[in-house]
Amino acid sequence: MNLPDPLDRHALAELARDVAEQAGRLIVQGRPDRLEVSSKSSRRDIVTEMDQRAQDALCEALAAARPDDAILGEEQGGRPGTSGLTWVLDPIDGTVNYLYGLSPFSVSVAVVEGDPTTWGRWSPLAGAVVIPPVGLTYLATLGGGAMVQDAHGAREVRASSATELSMALVATGFAYGAELRCVQTRAFVEIIPKVRDIRRTGSAAADLCWVADGRLDGYFEAGLHAWDVAAGQLIATEAGAVLHGLGDEVPNGELYAMSAPGISADFAALLRSAHRSS
């Protein structure tokens, strides 16, 4: 497989941005007065008609532009490919926020090499996250840095210069399933006294972009999938943030974390301790 060169990766990031912004407009402007909702793994794990409509629009646009690439989305409608590249989509990350009219919710689009269905066997090459409620679009290419675009223009983003864990503002999230949520709560109790404060925004993609932008010093969560993080992961690591899992393990569904470089060693040690004892 011939991987896209830096110039192509830049074109892939622009394609990710363009289709994500198109889907962002659709979920805001196309939202019906009466939003149809159905449940997936549990009554709390929902999908709205707009999740599916947005993913269908993303798939149609990407299939037209990159017909040989595979597509893996959170909702129904992925497709196999022959190029060795896969587009990994979360059409609405933060679906419950979207349902309740809360912020943030995001559209996350990344193109990865490898197998995005198995943690540790994929890596992102280009990606974009659009956060419609705040009018921000983040994008990055592997080796090409990360940036944010808004109504005022575009600027490079860099992770925060935090060095003291006790003064770090970190974000987390909770799984839909009650059993994993109990494990997360026990870990939360050990973590919260040892950081400045914790935020629970409801969108992993937004959390990762805000680590990239220095609006958060760290983020951790369990129970995630590649579609929640693939684009935000590239944006945050290209902004200088450090990706880590539990101990020496690769980030995965057991624990996924991202932090400013100055706190990453202490944050990783705290997460290891809190999750080992939880």
Interface positions with ligand LIP (CB under 6 A): 74, 90, 93-95, 173-174, 176, 202-204, 221, 228
Q: Which residue's Cβ has the minimum distance to ligand LIP?
A: 173
The CA distance from 55 to 49, in Å, is: 10
Alpha carbon 68 to its chain's center:
24
Which of 11, 180 has the CB closer to ligand LIP? Answer: 180
Which of 217, 228 has the CB closer to ligand LIP? Answer: 228
Least separation, in Å, of the C-beta of 185 and ligand LIP? Answer: 13
Backbone angles phi, psi at 216, to 5 degrees: -135, 150
Least separation, in Å, of the C-beta of 40 and ligand LIP? Answer: 9
The CA distance from 206 to 103, in Å, is: 10
Least separation, in Å, of the C-beta of 201 and ligand LIP? Answer: 8
Closest CA to 66 of 86, 48, 52: 86
Residues 202/206/210/213 CA torsion (nearest 10 deg): -170
Least separation, in Å, of the C-beta of 210 and ligand LIP? Answer: 12
Which of 12, 204 has the CB closer to ligand LIP? Answer: 204
Contacts of 242 (CB under 8 A, 6+ apart): 258, 259, 260, 261, 264
Least separation, in Å, of the C-beta of 118 and ligand LIP? Answer: 19
Runs of H (alpha helix) within the chain = 6-29, 49-65, 95-100, 178-191, 204-212, 226-238, 264-276
Which of 4, 267 has the CB closer to ligand LIP? Answer: 267
With beta carbons less than 8 A apart as the criterion, state whether 46 and 40 touch.
yes
Which of 4, 133 has the CB closer to ligand LIP? Answer: 133
Least separation, in Å, of the C-beta of 39 and ligand LIP? Answer: 12
Residue 277: how many CB atoms within 10 A of its CB?
Answer: 10
Least separation, in Å, of the C-beta of 143 and ligand LIP? Answer: 26
DSSP assignments along 66-121, one per residue: -TTSEEEESSS--B--SSSEEEEEEEEESHHHHHHT-S--EEEEEEEEE-TTSTTS
Which of 10, 44 has the CB closer to ligand LIP? Answer: 44
Least separation, in Å, of the C-beta of 218 and ligand LIP? Answer: 14
With beta carbons less than 8 A apart as the criterion, state whether 68 and 82 touch.
yes
For strands 218-221 and 256-259, give the pairing. Answer: antiparallel
